[in-house]
Chain A
Amino acid sequence: MPAFSFNDTLLLATVLFSVGLAGVLVRRDLVFMLMSLDIMLNAAALVFVGAGARWHDATGQVMFVLILALAAVETAVGLAIIVCLHARGRPTLDADTGNLLRG
């Protein structure tokens, strides 16, 4: 019996995804949101790889590579923003204060 059936992968990915989602919603600090975001990304990547393994198709891993690239870029830009916010002298990294685009 293989170590990890597709069913389990989905189970794990779902849990990870919802944990990441909770993290994004709960934490008001931008850094924590970024991290939770990464968890969610990984959950998605996991599903891809799981599917690839299940149907024995390399595409899963190709998508995995892309997600990695995406995560990299996303983190880079996120951190740049955080650095810029911090440099601007904002006391806290509260996501809610940055709401200039209010309707």
Chain B
Amino acid sequence: MNPLPALVLLPIMGGGVAWVAGHVRPRVTTTSRDASWWVVLVTLIVETFVLVMATFGHPVHTGPWPGHFSMPWIPAMGIAVRLDMDGLSLSLIWLSLIMCFLCVFLATRQVTVHAGAFRFLFLATLTGIIGTFLATDLFLFFFFWELMLVPMFGLIAAWGHEDRQRAAMKFFMFTQGSGLIMLLSILGLVITHYRQTGVLTFDYFTLAHTPLSPAVSMLLMLGFFIAFAVKLPVVPVHVWLPDAHTQAPTAASVLLAGILLKTGGYGMIRFNIMLFPDAASRFAPIAMGLGVAGIVYGAWLAYAQDDVKRLIAYSSISHMGFVLLGIFTGSRMGMQGAIIQMLAHGLSTAGLFVVAGAIQDRLHTRDMRCIGGLWAAMPRLSGAGLFFAMAALGMPGLGNFTGEFLVLLATWHVSPLPAILAAVGLVLAAIYALRMVNRIFLAAPRTGLQPVPDVASRQMAVFACVMVFLVLLGVYPQPFVTFSAPLPLPVAAMTGPEGATP
């Protein structure tokens, strides 16, 4: 049985069951895990098995990439449910699953009201994400792209903190608006393909071979780029991220930071570089400029924040600047550096958000001015926070440094100036990370605080797993590099175009 459709549909079905379970046996006590939590856990475990089967199972060689599944959906328009999996999407799906396990184990404390609905939206977002990573039919890709937003909007709007409505609305408006621009360029591409070859199809592989004039290809590429730039926050359009993160509940912000930002990066690799290679190379200088601007700007603003989550949000903008830089250097090294950076950033920022969420649950505040030093009260949590802060500032030996080093090396090949500016970003990263550590972890504890429980050893175990992953990514990234290399597009036209000729 082909694992791909199961991979996509399983979470949404699990979500439904979780919702029902949430209603059938409402939460008895806050600490005890209610039924819907168990359902979510079971869904995730089954999902992992399917993913293992997809990863190590015998590759079904009907499509150009290892995993392939195709089912006609709207034959008249040439739209088919095409799911293809290559190394890149597989590694990002593995990252998503780790994020979900992280959320399930660590960030479930404050979800007491409507737990079932929360879990359903959580798993629906996961479906959207996995769909986005697998879909190779442009229409299906757009469908999952929008599907991702709605539950996340619900999560932020319903379970967020004080100013959640505005943040959720801002998040939705930004991503939705840019998504529509992407739809325009998808349609533009399909129509130009149809005019030239008479074949109406949304299939990624056949569309990749449409001969385009430089102006048209640049235009279409920009359409895609804007959508992914908003998602992977590139500086001028990053405005939604800090608000969305500060107001989102911990699980939502882990998911948001962990994976949703990566869909932007994934989209850029898949739909900008590989679909419009020449336009991308022409656009590269501007994109790299934006990347460097993102790095410096994100780090600069992270330094000035007083809100922990906002600081982490700006730091992820800075990290994503590296990803953008890496993708548009044009060399495979830059691409792999960007992918490693995405994986490492996912892990480290999710860790930081869980720590920030834990602090907020215990102290009911995110303002660094009134969170005194926590090392005395919560050594384990502070230790984890310190570790993830070190990863965030790019300590060699941890995943982020590997990604950043490869990106910088690839950029240096292109031209030394952006690389030097990006390296200056590293200094700024050290400044804001250490400033955070010295304001909430290694600082004089605030008087008048009632004793606060430290992280349970079980949760510390989960933290430890994430730390091990980060160290592994930092010290022995070679398997990850070979495993997540995006396969190049097959040069010959796809075997039998999926699209129906009208």
Asked whether the complex places CB atoms of A and B closer than 8 A, the reply is no
Residues of B bordering A, CB below 8 Å: none
Q: Which residues of A are interface residues toward B (Cβ below 8 A)?
A: none
